[in-house]
Amino acid sequence: MPTLDLKIERLERLVGKSLIISDLEYDLQWISLDLEDINEEERTIKVEYNPNRPDFSSPEGISRALKGYYELELGLPKFELSEGTIVMNVDEKVKDVRPYIVCAVIKNIDLDDDEVATLMNIQEQLHWAVGRDRKKVAIGVHDLDKLKPPFRYTAVPPKEVSFVPLHGDGDPMDLEEILKYHEKGIQYAHILDGMENFPLLLDNDDQVISFPPVINGILTTVTDDTKNLFIEMTGTEEKSVNLALNILTAMLADTGAQLEIVKIVYEGKQEITTPNLDPIKWDVDIKYINSYLGLQLSATEMIGCFRKVRMDAQKSKKKGILEVFVPAFRGDIIHPVDFTEECAMGYGYFNLPLTIKEGCMGQYHPIQSLANKIRTIMVGAGYLEVLNFILANSEKHYDFMNQKYEEKSLVQITNPVSKEYNTLRTKILPKLMETLLFNRSEEKPIRIFEVGDVIVLDSKEETGARRDLHLSAVSYHEDANFTEMRSTLDFLITALGKFGDLNVEPVDDSTYIKGRCGKILFKKVKIGEIGEIHPEVIENYKLEFPVVAFEIDLQKLL
């Protein structure tokens, strides 16, 4: 989870009231922030925020929420935008490269050291949280006074243009050289893989402003003397580039800077202006919110709750509907159910009525009780429990295991942060093989297991997928064999009191050695597989000794 260091003195200045750390420790939780660390002597705190709230990546963003919580300011934050004269012309060549760009001009800035540090930090946080490490959004901040407008966003062959990149050795480099030899070029070259032309930002004198998403030109370096900023954001998703720009410009506006709009002229298309800080209107059903919260709030009371979380609301002409206006820097509102959380925060979680009667006792779900019992049994059998991510890599999950698959059969991650986590696992065994890979130098035998969730496509489910609980175990050493793992399986089933219902029948499975594997049947229903892992799979995971394993679906066992 991302964290942010805050100076109490600066937070007090932004919020407009004195703040006591012990009070903040209590109050921050009600605006979805966790207090990670306190330094009483230096009067600083470290807070943790959810990645879906990148507007909390600056003290200014947190102060907006606190003003609402303390009822110092209610409703939508107000931002003034002045008409500007800067024009960004977009060449049609960027359509197949990096098609979207948004810009803003920031005038009369006077940032102190803390605010400069915040500006750098919020760029990195936005690159990560919104930009997916610059793949979806890349941010450039420039000294406007060193440039001559209008500007141009185009795409050029890698060898056509040379310039001196920021943090370079002072010599001009063409775009291809930057990707090969510059630190940032090497880091982000993969984003431009396979492209014949690379994106480039130029001013009216053809001076290079930026080579997105890689590096800015040294020409526009921001210094202590900088008074006016030009901000540009390029990307592959229009919504994301606008959100990132809105968050950054809102932060700068709260420091006292003046915002000016920039005209974006797309070749052959209608021109637009950015930033656009107009709120987004949603229609919200009052009964829907009340049913989730277990309350009977009136329209007026609900409007008050939304104003406290820095939104605005009013009654719609439609009966029972509120028109809720969401700030342009809030990208986490994607479904009407999200308004239940906002309303609850405005109402105050601590004010919600208790619904559990005194003296009532909870109990484990049957599947959880079974999982806990199985963990105890497996530890007793000499196995060590491990925990792995439910996110997986499709190549390791299937190709490494000698399994064929079609992309349409997977629950895939849209725009994953890393290709290492581009799908959801459908079995646990591949993850245990990875664990062996990372620990192959440890003393043998290595016997490990995991009880965890897998995700399987299921058209019968409303979401199109279901979550199952699986158990998988592996043993890795020079004498590992089928008999060993079958004995472990029998020990488990006997301890569960279900031995008479279990059977193992031969099966062909490319993950295992033919003739040394079987399907596990429980009351004549297949619940899993057991066997010695195929040598090709062992080689894929760079292991040296035999591996024997089993995996079962605990739902079917229950």
Query: Nearest 5°: CA angle at 149, between 148 and 152?
Result: 115
pLDDT value of residue 323: 97
Are 431 and 552 found together in one domain?
A: yes
pLDDT tens track for 3-58: 899 999 999 999 999 999 888 989 999 999 998 999 888 899 999 998 899 999 99
In a domain, 358, yes or no: no
Question: Is there a single domain that holds both residue 470 and residue 321?
Answer: no
- pLDDT > 70 in the chain, percent: 98
- What domain range is 42 assigned to? 3-69
With respect to residue 354, please indicate whether it lies within any of the assigned structural domains: no
Whole-number pLDDT of residue 99: 94
Question: Is 357 a member of any domain?
Answer: no
Does residue 356 lie within any of the structural domains?
Answer: no
Evaluate the omega torsion of the peptide bond into residue 213 and state whether it is cis, within 30 degrees of 0: yes
pLDDT tens-digit readout, 426-477 = 999 999 999 999 999 999 999 999 999 998 887 777 677 788 999 999 999 9
Q: What CATH number did the domain enclosing 123 receive?
A: 3.50.40.10
Question: Does one domain contain both 255 and 302?
Answer: no
Q: Which of 412 and 109 is assigned the larger pLDDT?
A: 109
For residue 362, pLDDT over 80 is answered with no
Overall average pLDDT of the 343-357 stretch: 87
Task: Give residue for tokens 């530890």.
Answer: 379
In a domain, 359, yes or no: no
Indicate if 404 and 341 belong to the same structural domain. no
Task: Please state which of the ranges 8-12, 21-25, 76-80, 96-100 shows the lowest mean pLDDT.
Answer: 21-25
pLDDT > 70? residue 407: no
Q: Which long-range contacts (CB under 8 A, 24 or more apart) does 410-416 make?
A: 410/457, 411/455, 411/457, 411/465, 415/132, 415/135, 415/136, 415/237, 416/132
Distance of alpha carbon 373 from the chain centroid: 34
Asked if residue 167 has pLDDT above 80, the reply is yes
pLDDT band at 112 (very low <50, low <70, confident <90, very high): confident
Q: What is the CATH number of the domain that holds 345?
A: 3.30.56.10
When pLDDT is averaged across residues 371-390 and rounded to a whole number, the result is 95
Does 233 fall in a domain? Answer: yes
Q: Which residues of 111-150 are buried (b: 16+ CB within 10 A; e: fewer)?
A: beeebeebbebbbebbbbbbbbbbbbbbbbbbbbebbebe
CA–CA separation, 45 and 6 (whole Å): 5
Q: Which residues contact 51 (CB under 8 A, 6 or more apart)?
A: 1, 2, 129
Among 15, 44, 69, give the residue marking a domain's end: 69
**Are 206 and 114 within one domain?**
yes
Tell me the average pLDDT of the chain.
92
Residues 12 and 35 in one domain: yes
Q: What is the pTM of this model?
A: 0.72
Q: How far is CA 25 from the centre of its chain?
A: 26
Q: What's the pLDDT at 157? A: 95
Q: Are residues 243 and 374 in the same domain?
A: no
Asked if pLDDT for residue 375 goes beyond 80, the answer is yes
What is the Cα–Cα distance from 323 to 295, expressed in whole angstroms?
19
Same domain, 428 and 455: yes
DSSP SS3 for 399: helix
Q: Token pair for residue 341?
A: 């959380």
Residue 99, helix vs strand vs coil: coil
**270 in a domain, yes or no?**
yes
Please tell me the distance from the alpha carbon of residue 199 to that of residue 260, in angstroms, as a whole number: 25
pLDDT at res. 192:
93
pLDDT score for 408: 66
- pLDDT, residue 495, reads 93
Domain co-membership, 183 together with 221: yes
Calculate mean pLDDT across residues 373-388: 95
Mean pLDDT (whole number) for 335-348: 95
Mean pLDDT is lowest, of 161-165, 268-272, 454-458, 523-527, for 268-272
Residue 361 lies in a domain: no
- Mean pLDDT in residue range 232-242: 95
Q: Last residue of a domain, which of 250, 274, 298?
A: 274
Number of domains in the chain: 4
Give the range among 38-47, 253-262, 407-416 with minimum mean pLDDT.
407-416
Q: Let me know whether 267 and 320 are in one domain.
A: no
Of 69, 96, 122, the residue that ends a domain is 69
Sorting pLDDT into bands at 50, 70 and 90, what band is 200? very high
pLDDT, position 316: 94
Same domain? For 404 and 551 the reply is: yes
| Residues 310, 438 within the same domain | no
